[in-house]
Every structure is written in structure tokens, then in C-alpha cells.
Amino acid sequence: MKIMVCIKQVPDDSVKIELDESTGKPSVEGVEPIVNAFDTYALEMAARFLETGIEGEITTITMGDENSKSSIKNCLAVGASHGYVLHDDLFEGSDAQGTAYALGCAVRKIARDEGGDFDIVFCGIETSDETSGQTGPMLAESLGYSLVTNVIALEKKDGVLHVKQETEDGYNIVETPMPCVLTAARPNYDPRYPTIKSKMAARKMPIGELSAADIGARSDKTGESASLVKTIELAAPPKRKAGIKINEEDIEEASLKAFSIMTDANVL
Amino acid sequence: MTDRNVFVYIETADGESVKVGPEMLAPAREAAGGGKVTAVIIDAQSDQAAEKALIYGADAVITAACEAAPPENTVGILTAMAEKYGPDIIMIGSTPAGRETAPRLAARIGAGCVTDVNALDITDEGIVWTTPLFGGTILENVGISTDVQVVTIRSGAFKCGEAGDPSGEIIPEEIIMQDGDVKTKIIDSVVEISEQVNLEDAEIIVTGGKGMGTEEDFQKIQELADVLGATVGATRPVIEAGWTSRAHQVGQSGKIVSPKLYIAFGVSGATQHITGMIGSDYIVAVNKDEDAPIFDVADIGIVGDAKKVLPIFIEECRKLKGI
């Protein structure tokens, strides 16, 4: 069983990112880069799946600059055996379609090099920065694989894959052939932490670097010039003004005061 | 003004259109200019949803009788319909299925795709779509450069237009599925959450956060909700603690709500939560921490223990309502 987990390095999602009015860009300066949370769930689910006694390996890949190697290293410390960074000026400014195209080229190229197709290509359902959720489904189209979204667990049964898909009121069990693309939702556990030993081991593992030429990506299919969706501008959402703050010793008095303002405002 | 033909794919559940379905007809009309707005419904029972689409402004409805329409079928059918009718814009609701369908459809027909649209602006250069970044703390205005544009529309972002007479043509279409169109199969569907929680249409929402302290205290939120005829909301940490089901979750990964009154007890106001409730008309927040970010958006903030304020509110509301 060969599993590819696609990850993206994003700014720490516990930090509130707002528009920097002076640059017109998101205020990500100084915010620690982390692996997108949904991608860490994909990796953890893949690792747990293999730990059920299935022989196999996890490869992880990201598109990004030199910097994103640290995120791949983090993945190598918590279950992945191989890591790659897709890096080329050509990829700059790609929209989701250009990204999915390049990832598709890379998945095929690595499969050829490592001697065998990936059975599962796993992505997080969306990233905390773009929150568009397009890359996984588009990657499935690019590769011509089947797709199951909102995955919270997987199991191999009689040679096929049974995937637990979260729904609004419960879950589905979906049978899918392999190869397939899966997108991970949040399972009811946290991903494992690396140990000192696994961190040390990850530090020594090589990380492959792939350029557009390495994966045979065409310049008319990826990067800014091929982008079908163009950003016009970023804007700050309308601000809401804070109203009255009641801070009093006597909580009953404070409550009654608030309550009378509410009745005066006719909101009850 | 440019005239555009707009397709609106209306997802159904048990023969009825999902909430965002008719809501999309308003922005669809705006984007269409003098062009035609056509609803597309894929369901064995499409009568109700088709009539509703005509009432809320569709010029015509294409129906495709198909027993079950998992996203895989939908992508194939919409691709065929797009090729046959050549719409300029295809709108899809931002439901879990819609968020899967739209990017696949866009990739298949070579269209640009924007998800979670919550506003649009028609300019001389084209349509500007607004979509949230970082969970809504930044808005991105984008344009799509392809002839066909695929967008998903966020539920609750647009209000349904005025109801009118259901006039317009209903066009039944034959479905011809290609071999290999459907690769996955749902072999079991389990309902874990049986309660119906309608946060999106609620006029009043009373939400509890981890600041309620214990599950027992959280349950008392229901008492206030009952007195006010309100719906109970919850934050993600509350769901994760197992105090209530995720059907109650308000926020980026739950429901985006816009009630007339939103009362938050023991909610600190993580960005992901604020994004989901900032559209409320009037916000009341109770929290021990006077620096809690929820106070930045509240019309009234009470600095204090939510557990102590809740019973006082329940009593006062009872008096007010005469219950």
C-alpha cells in the first residue's frame, strides 16, 4: 500500500490574521509556519491505517519554497517515510487548478521513480489560509482517480477500501476502488506528537526537491499566467463596533443592568 | 450591461431543495442581467423543488430524474448539461456535496472556480466575486477569466428574493450515465444526530462555550432557550468535550448564523467562532475575562461568571414573558 499525503505550510491558525492596510496583504509577518491542520489529520489517519497491519509506506509532498522543508521534516517525524518539496518560480501565483495540476504531475513522477502507483492520495479538506477546499477534488480530476471527501477513518475490507465519511447528521461508509483521492476532515482525536527519537531520525532523512521540469509540468497549465482565477484585491471585512461593557462587582446588578438595556433595545 | 445565462444547481434532500438553493436565485438574477436563470434539479422527485425555484425567480427549470445523486453523478450530469446548454455561470450551494461538485465540474469543463462566495459586484470588466480568506478575517475579491465561471454560494449569504408566480418552463432531461462515471458506492449511511437543529433560520440563538464550566451547567442554556423560543448554539470546544452534538456548532467549521439576537455565555470568541456569528443583528456576551475578544463585537458585554448570569437571565426572561 502506497499512500501520498499532500500538505501545505500555512501561518499558525491560532493567530488571528488580518489585512495589513499598509501592504494590502495578510499580516503573516512573524507568524510561525505550521502544517495545515486538516493535512495533519490526513497524515495521522494514513499512519493509523497502516498500523492496523497493512504493509505500506507514506510519502509526503508540498508545494512551496525552501522554507517548507521544515514542514516536511515534521511529517517525517510523525509517520511519513519519504518527503518531497515542489519548488519552481513557475509555480508562483498558481490557482487551485494550477496547483492540482502540478501535484498530479508530481504524484505520477514520484510513482514512476519509486516503482509503483500510489493507492491513496490524501489531502486535507481545506487549508486554513485559502479555505477554498478545491485542490483535493481537482487533483482527483487531474489524476482521473475516484474521490471521497470529509474522511474521518479508513479500513481495508476484502481488497477494497471502506472509507468513513462524515455527514451533517452522522456518517457514510463509502466503498471506493484504488487508486483514489481522499480529503480529510477532523477525526475525534489529535494527531500524534513527534518524539525526540523520531525527530532525530527525521532530521537525517533526505528530502527530494522537484522542479517543474523534473515533473514535466507545462507552463501553460500552472503558475500565474495559467491562473483562471485572478485576485483583484484583498479587503478587510466591515468592522463591528463594540458596545457597552458592564464590569461591576455585583454580578446580579450587572446582569439586571444588561437585561434592562436589552429590553429597552427591544431585542427580546 | 452584459447578459449572461446562469445555471443554478439546486441540491435536494428527500425531494426538497436545501436552504441555499432558492437563496442563490437572487444573486443569479443579478449576475444574469437580461440573461436567463435556469435551475437544475437532479432528483427522482423534483416537483416541489422545481416549483420553489420558479416561485423564487428561475426562468426555467431543467430536471434530471436520477434516483440518488451523490456528487460523482452530479458532476457527470452537470458536465453534460453545461455542454448542451452552454451557460456562462454555474452556481452551486456551498454544502459539503457542493464543495466537492464545483471544483470537479470546473476542472472537467476547464472553468475557473471560486468557492464560498458571499457577495458579488457586477462591473464593466466582469463579475467580482467576494470570498473569505483565513476563515473570514480577510475578504478576497476575485475575477474568473474563463468563458464559463463556476462558483459556490455560501448558505445564508443572500436572502431569498420575493416570492412570485411559479411561471416558467420545466424541461425534463434524459440522463445518460457513462460507464465509469460512478466509481464509489455508499454501502451504509448512519444517522447519529437525530435532533433537528435549525441555527440558520433562528431569530434568537443562545450559545454556550467552555466558560460554562461543566456539562451540567451547559445544559441550563437550553432552559433559557426554551423561555425565549431560541435555538441552542455551541462552540467547537464544547462539541469536542461531548457536551452536545455538532449539529449545534456555530462558526467556521459549523454553521454561519445571522439571528436578530445572539447571546453568548462563556464564549471567549476565537476567530473561527466570531466568523460564524458576526452577522447577528444584536450580540450580548458574558465572560469572566474582560479582555475576551468576544467583547470587541458585542453590543452588550457583561464581565463576570456566565454560570451566575444565566439563572438571573432565565428568571428575568420568565417574568418578561409571563411564563
Q: What pLDDT does B323 receive?
A: 81
Stretch B210-218: mean pLDDT: 97
The nearest CA of chain A is from the CA of B165 a distance in Å of: 33
Domain end (from B123, B151, B173): B173
Stretch B80-104: mean pLDDT: 96
Judge if B169 and B208 occupy the same domain: no
> For residues B75 and B184, is the Cβ–Cβ distance under 8 A?
no
Contact A231 B135 (CB under 8 A): no
| CA-angle at B81, arms to B79 and B82, nearest 5° | 65
Q: Is residue B159, in this structure, part of any structural domain at all?
A: yes
Residue B204: name the closest of B313, B288, B289, B312 by CA. Answer: B313
Stretch B26-40: mean pLDDT: 97
Judge if B216 and B163 occupy the same domain: no
Contact B116 A131 (CB under 8 A): yes
CATH number where B287 lies: 3.40.50.1220
Judge if B38 and B104 occupy the same domain: yes
Domain end (from B158, B173, B188): B173
A235 Cβ partners below 8 Å, 6+ apart? A19, B130, B138, B139, B140, B141
Q: Is residue B194, in this structure, part of any structural domain at all?
A: no
Q: What pLDDT does B179 receive?
A: 64
Query: Could you tell me what percent of chain A has a pLDDT over 70?
Result: 100
> For residues B141 and A232, is the Cβ–Cβ distance under 8 A?
yes
| Per-residue pLDDT reduced to its tens digit, A121-164 | 999 999 999 999 999 999 999 999 999 999 999 999 988 999 99
Number of A:B CB contacts under 8 A? 239
> With bands split at pLDDT 50, 70 and 90, how would you rate the model's confidence at B68?
low
Report yes or no: B74 at the A interface, CB cutoff 8 Å. Answer: no
Judge if B74 and B169 occupy the same domain: yes
Run of H or E residues at B140: strand B138-144
Stretch B56-80: mean pLDDT: 88
> With bands split at pLDDT 50, 70 and 90, how would you rate the model's confidence at B82?
very high
Long-range contacts of B123-130 (CB under 8 A, 24+ apart): B126/B2, B127/B31, B127/B89, B128/A232, B130/A235
Using the predicted structure, report yes or no on whether residue B44 has a pLDDT greater than 80.
yes
Give the chain B residue whose CA is nearest to the CA of A249.
Answer: B304
> With bands split at pLDDT 50, 70 and 90, how would you rate the model's confidence at B14?
confident
Q: What pLDDT does B113 receive?
A: 98
Stretch A232-255: mean pLDDT: 93
B177 Cβ partners below 8 Å, 6+ apart? B73, B76
| Per-residue pLDDT reduced to its tens digit, B281-294 | 999 999 999 999 99
Q: What pLDDT does A242 receive?
A: 84
Read off the C-alpha cell for A170: 452522522
Judge if B51 and B158 occupy the same domain: yes
Using the predicted structure, report yes or no on whether residue B177 has a pLDDT greater than 80.
no
What span, in angstroms and rounded, lies between the C-alpha atoms of A235 and A127?
Answer: 19
Q: How many domains does chain B have?
A: 2
| Per-residue pLDDT reduced to its tens digit, B136-155 | 899 999 999 999 999 999 99
Torsion of Cα atoms, A94 then A97 then A103 then A109, to 10°: -110
Judge if B104 and B224 occupy the same domain: no
Give the chain B residue whose CA is nearest to the CA of A137.
Answer: B104
Residue A227: name the closest of B123, B82, B111, B104 by CA. Answer: B111
Cβ neighbours, 10 Å, residue B142: 20
Give the chain B residue whose CA is nearest to the CA of A140.
Answer: B104
| CA-angle at A114, arms to A110 and A120, nearest 5° | 65
A234 Cβ partners below 8 Å, 6+ apart? A19, A24, A25, A26, B133, B138, B139, B140, B141
| Amino acid letter, B317 | C
Query: Could you tell me what percent of chain A has a pLDDT over 90?
Result: 93
Per-residue b/e over A5-32, b at no fewer than 16 CB within 10 Å?
bbbbbbbebeeebebeeeeeebbbeebe
Q: Is residue B127, in this structure, part of any structural domain at all?
A: yes
| Per-residue pLDDT reduced to its tens digit, A5-53 | 999 999 999 898 999 999 999 999 999 999 999 999 999 999 999 999 9
Specify whether the backbone of B220 is left (phi greater than 0), alpha (psi in -120 to 50) or beta.
alpha
To test the contact with chain A by mutation, choose from B11, B104, B133, B274 the residue with the greatest count of A C-beta atoms within 10 A, namely B133
Stretch B168-185: mean pLDDT: 84
| CATH architecture classification, A2-226 | 3-Layer(aba) Sandwich (3.40)
What span, in angstroms and rounded, lies between the C-alpha atoms of B168 and B57?
Answer: 9
User: Residues 16..35 of B with a Cβ closer than 8 Å to A: which?
Assistant: none
CB contacts, 8 Å: B128 with chain A: 232
Read off the C-alpha cell for B62: 431543467
Using the predicted structure, report yes or no on whether residue A173 has a pLDDT greater than 70.
yes
Report yes or no: B137 at the A interface, CB cutoff 8 Å. Answer: yes
| Per-residue pLDDT reduced to its tens digit, A181-235 | 999 999 999 999 999 999 999 999 999 999 999 999 999 999 999 999 999 999 9
Judge if B19 and B167 occupy the same domain: yes
Length in residues, chain A: 268
A240 Cβ partners below 8 Å, 6+ apart? B278, B283, B296, B297
Q: In chain A, where do the E strands start and end?
A: 2-7, 9-11, 19-20, 25-26, 33-35, 57-63, 82-86, 120-124, 146-157, 160-167, 170-176, 180-184, 207-210, 229-235, 244-246
**Domain span holding position B61:** 6-173
> With bands split at pLDDT 50, 70 and 90, how would you rate the model's confidence at B228?
very high
CATH number where B169 lies: 3.40.50.620
Q: Is residue B196, in this structure, part of any structural domain at all?
A: no
Contact B186 A173 (CB under 8 A): yes
Per-residue b/e over B261-290, b at no fewer than 16 CB within 10 Å?
bbbbbbbbbbbbbbbbbbebebbbbbbeee
**Does this complex have an ipTM over 0.90?**
yes
Domain end (from B173, B196, B225): B173
To test the contact with chain A by mutation, choose from B79, B125, B138, B224 the residue with the greatest count of A C-beta atoms within 10 A, namely B138
Residue B137: name the closest of A224, A35, A31 by CA. Answer: A31
| Per-residue pLDDT reduced to its tens digit, A86-115 | 999 999 999 999 999 999 999 999 999 988
Q: Is residue B129, in this structure, part of any structural domain at all?
A: yes
Q: Is residue B190, in this structure, part of any structural domain at all?
A: no
Cβ neighbours, 10 Å, residue B36: 18
> With bands split at pLDDT 50, 70 and 90, how would you rate the model's confidence at B69?
low
